[in-house]
Amino acid sequence: MGKFNDIVKSSTPTLVDFHATWCGPCQAMHPVMDRLKNEMGSQVRILKIDVDKNQEVANKFKVRSVPTFLLFKDGEILWRQSGGMDINTLKSKIKAAI
């Protein structure tokens, strides 16, 4: 949890992707997340959290379904949504945080 907390306290927006290897919608989000990183570069940090391997973090944020996305800046949650989504939705949320 210590390293996670250090990362999300950054002034750079951090998009946390809570996912699972067995989750179909999570797999569908992989290319979207890769494209998001390529298009936004250093404007955003993307952190992928496997809920099966990191249950403590998932429980802390009450993640009950995957994928779930949380956008942090300066340690605060600015936005949260579960389910797959398109790149434009993600980009607009991140740009609002910058």
Residue 26 a catalytic site member? yes
In CATH, what number is assigned to the domain containing residue 40?
3.40.30.10
**How many domains does one find in the chain?**
1
Q: Which residues contact 57 (CB under 8 A, 6 or more apart)?
A: 1, 4, 49
Which one of the listed residues 15, 20, 23, 36 is annotated catalytic? 23
pLDDT on residue 41? 95
d(CA 15, CA 67): 12
Instruction: List the domain range (segments joined by +) for residue 65.
Output: 2-97
Which one of the listed residues 8, 16, 20, 26 is annotated catalytic? 26
Residue 38 a catalytic site member? no
Predicted confidence (pLDDT) per residue in 11-50, tens digit? 999 999 999 999 999 999 999 999 999 999 999 999 999 9
